[in-house]
Structure 1
Amino acid sequence: MSDIKIYTVDEPYLKIDCGLGEGPFWEEATNTLRFVDVIKQKLHAIDLNKGPESHKVLADLDISIGVTADIEGDDDHIFFGGKHGYGILSRSTGKYKYIRKYWSEKEVADGKEKLFRGNDGAVDARGRFFVGTMNDPLVKSPEPEGTLFRLDPDLTLHRVLEDVHIPNGMSWSNDNKTMYYTDSPTKNVFAFDYDIDTGSFSNKRVFYRVEEGEHGVPDGHAQDTEGYLWIAIHGAGKVLRVSPQGKKVAEIRLPTRCPTCPEFAGEDLYITSAAEEMPDQFPESTKLHGSLFKVHVGVRGAPSYRFKYNGEKP
C-alpha cells in the first residue's frame, strides 16, 4: 500500500440529497458541470466559475435519465439516454422528446419498455452514442437481462451486447483500440478490442476486478490523458486510479459509501454519489450521501466527444 497515493475528502463540494446522482459531464466551453438524479428525475448544473451557489435544476423531468451527451454543432440541446430510449432536451425550456426508442413495438407490447431503463453510456470518437439498459429497480430487481445499445449518427440502432446486468463506466483508450465497460454486479471492469471504423468490439477480458472479500462494486469511471481509469467503487466509499495495465496506483477516500461516477473538469475530479442503501447499518454514510464531491488530482481527463445529430428538435 505504500506506493499507492491516497486522497482524503471530508466535505462535499455541493451538499445535495440525490437519490441516485449519476452521469456527471463537464462542458468545457462554459466550465459547467451537469449531472442527473436518476431516481428524482432531475438534471442539475453548476457554473464552476461561480461555485456551488450557482447550482440549479436545469430540467425537472417525468422520466429517468441515466446519461447525457453534447451534440456536435448544437449548444442549445442535450442528447440523453433515458427510461425508454434516446432523446433530446432543450437547455432553455427543459422540454424533451424521444428520438429513438430502445424496444420494438412487439417488445413494448410484451411489457419490456416498463421493465427496463437506460443507465450509463458514452460517445466514441466517431460520434456514436452507446447506452446500456438494465431492469428498472422500481419495477424489478436487476437481473442479467439488459442490453447495450449503440446509436449511430444516422440514427441506426444496434444491439451490441446482451445479458447485461447493471451497465456502467464506459470509455475508450486514447488510441481508440480498447473499449472499457463495467457490469457492476460481476465486480469486473472489462476490456475489449475496439474497431473505431465500425464501432464493433471483440475479445472480452477482465481489465480490473474488485476481488471477493473486498467491499463494493465498480460503478462509473473517468479516464485521464495518461490512459488511467478513475473507477468509483460503490459500497466502499472509494474512487481508484487504475493503470492501463490494471494496477491500482491511487485511491480517493470519501465520507459516504456510495460514490457513483467521477468526471474531470480540468485537473479536478468531481464525483457524484447516491443515497445510502443500508442507512441503519451505516448511519455515518447517510450524512453526506447523495452529495457531489471534488478533489484536485493534478491530471486532466481524456477528451470527450459529441453525438452527431442533425435531426428534429423539441
Structure 2
Amino acid sequence: MWTSIEDSLCELGESPFWHPEERALYWLDIPGRAALRTRGDIGSPEAKVERWALSTEPGCMAPARSGGLVIALRDGIYRARKWGGELVAMARVEHDVSTMRFNDGKCDALGRFWAGSINEAKDRANAALYCLDARSNTGISPTITQMANQATTANGLAFSPDARTLYWADTPAHVVRAWDWDAEGNSLSHARVFQQFDAKPEGWSPDSLLRYGGRPDGATVDAEGHYWVAMFEGAQLLRFSPSGQQVAAVPVPVQCPTMPCFGGDDLKTLFVTSGRKGRPAAEIEQRPASGTVISMRVETPGLPVNFFED
C-alpha cells in the first residue's frame, strides 16, 4: 500500500536517501532548486518537511561522515558543513553549463562521491560519470576522475553489496550497463549491457493503447544484491537479480517515478521520488501523488546509505 509523505510535493524529486542518525529522509527538487528533508517521525502529527533553497539545480547529494552534505549542482560539486550552510566548491568539470549539468549520483562504500552529468539538449551522448575522492587519509588533495562516458542522461547509479559490480544507466537510450568494479583500486572493466528496454513507441501517451514500460531513471540495490530501478513514464519499479533476471514489477501510483531508496530503522521502507513538471493536466488529475515522495513496506531490506568521507 503506497502512501505519500505530506508536504513533499516537488516539480522533479530526485536523489533520496535515509539518514540513519537523524532518522530522516533527504531528497532534492531539481528544477525547484531545493534540498528537502523530513523532521520528526514520518506520518506523525509533528512531522514536517524542511526546504533549503539552492542557487542552481541540484542533481544529487549524499551525507558526510563529519557532518553536513556533499551536493552536485549544475557547475560543480560542493560541500555544506551544515543544513542551509555555505556551499564551498570542491570540484568542477569542463562542461558547458548552458546545456550540461550534474544529475544522478551517490557515494560508494569507501566514501567517494560519484556524480553523472546530463546533456539537456539531448543532441549527443557527451554526458559522463565522475568520481570525487576527498578522503583525508589518502594524503592527497581532492581529485575528480572521469570513470565512464558516452551517455546522454546519467542515471541508475548503484553498487553491488560485494563492491564488485557498478551499474549505470543512460535514460534516453533505455539502457542499464554494468561493469566489473575493483572498489579498492577504483577501476572499471568488462563493460556490458545489463538491461536494454524497448524504446517509447511513436505517438505513445499514458492513456493510449500502446504499451510502454518506461525508461530507466534512478536506482538502488537491496541487501540481496537485487537492482531496483524507477521506470520514468512507466508507472512502475522493476527489480532484477544480479544475473539480470527480472524478478518483480511493482506498480506505483505515479506515472513518472524517479528514484527509489530504502529507509526506516529496519531499512524495509521503500521510498520513491517522482516528477510532475511538464506532465499533462489529465495525468496529474488521475495520479495526484505525482511529484510527491511515496513509500511502502517491503520484505527485503535495503543497504544503509554510504557517507562521504573527507
TM range (shorter): 0.7 to 0.9
**Is 2:77 the counterpart of 1:86?**
yes
Provide the TM-score with structure 2 as the length reference.
Answer: 0.86
Q: Which residue of 2 aligns with 1:247?
A: 245
- CA–CA separation in structure 1 for the residues paired with 2:282 and 2:124: 25
1:189-219 per-position Cα deviation (integer Å, ceiling 9, x unaligned): 1110101122111111111232346331011
Distance 1:142 1:42, change over 3 A: farther
Distance 1:123 1:26, change over 3 A: same
Q: Which residue of 2 aligns with 1:19?
A: 11
Question: Aligned to 1:130, what secondary structure does the other structure show?
Answer: strand
**Is 2:191 the counterpart of 1:190?**
no
**Is 2:233 the counterpart of 1:235?**
yes
Q: Which residue of 1 aligns with 2:274?
A: 273
- CA–CA separation in structure 1 for the residues paired with 2:147 and 2:249: 32
Distance 1:304 1:92, change over 3 A: closer
**Is 2:11 the counterpart of 1:30?**
no
**Match for 1:121: what amino acid?**
G
- CA–CA separation in structure 2 for the residues paired with 1:278 and 1:68: 25
**Is 2:293 the counterpart of 1:292?**
yes
**Is 2:250 the counterpart of 1:262?**
no
Q: Which residue of 2 aligns with 1:143?
A: 124
Distance 1:87 1:276, change over 3 A: closer
Q: Which residue of 2 aligns with 1:156?
A: 143
- CA–CA separation in structure 1 for the residues paired with 2:42 and 2:114: 32
Shift of 1:133: 0.8
Map 1:64-75; keep pairs closer than 5 Å.
Answer: 64-72=57-65, 74-75=66-67
**Is 2:194 the counterpart of 1:207?**
yes
Gaps of 5+ in 1: 1-7, 310-314
2:39–2:50 contact (8 Å) kept in structure 1: no
Shift of 1:95: 2.9
Distance 1:206 1:61, change over 3 A: same
Provide the TM-score with structure 1 as the length reference.
Answer: 0.85
Shift of 1:29: 1.5
1:119-146 per-position Cα deviation (integer Å, ceiling 9, x unaligned): 01121222221110112x3xx3463121
Number of paired residues? 289
1:217–1:234 contact (8 Å) kept in structure 2: yes
The structure 2 residue matched to 1:46, chosen from 38, 42, 59, is 38
**Is 2:115 the counterpart of 1:131?**
yes
Shift of 1:46: 0.9
1:136-180 per-position Cα deviation (integer Å, ceiling 9, x unaligned): x3xx34631212111112411111222221111211111111111
- CA–CA separation in structure 1 for the residues paired with 2:281 and 2:25: 32
2:12–2:31 contact (8 Å) kept in structure 1: yes
Q: Which residue of 2 aligns with 1:60?
A: 53
Q: Which residue of 2 aligns with 1:4?
A: none
**Is 2:171 the counterpart of 1:173?**
no
- CA–CA separation in structure 2 for the residues paired with 1:142 and 1:61: 28
Gaps of 5+ in 2: 135-140, 200-210
- CA–CA separation in structure 1 for the residues paired with 2:51 and 2:236: 28
Q: Which runs of 4+ in 1 moved over 6 A?
A: none
1:266-299 per-position Cα deviation (integer Å, ceiling 9, x unaligned): 1010000011544056354552210110010122
1:226-251 per-position Cα deviation (integer Å, ceiling 9, x unaligned): 00111100101111121112122222
Distance 1:199 1:144, change over 3 A: same
Report the aligned-residue RMSD.
2.0
Identity of aligned residues (%): 28
Shift of 1:51: 2.9
The structure 1 residue matched to 2:104, chosen from 120, 143, 147, is 120
Distance 1:119 1:274, change over 3 A: same
Question: Aligned to 1:275, what secondary structure does the other structure show?
Answer: coil
**Match for 2:88: what amino acid?**
K
1:276–1:286 contact (8 Å) kept in structure 2: no
**Match for 1:97: what amino acid?**
V
- CA–CA separation in structure 2 for the residues paired with 1:239 and 1:47: 27
1:276–1:289 contact (8 Å) kept in structure 2: no
**Match for 2:293: what amino acid?**
L
- CA–CA separation in structure 2 for the residues paired with 1:218 and 1:115: 21
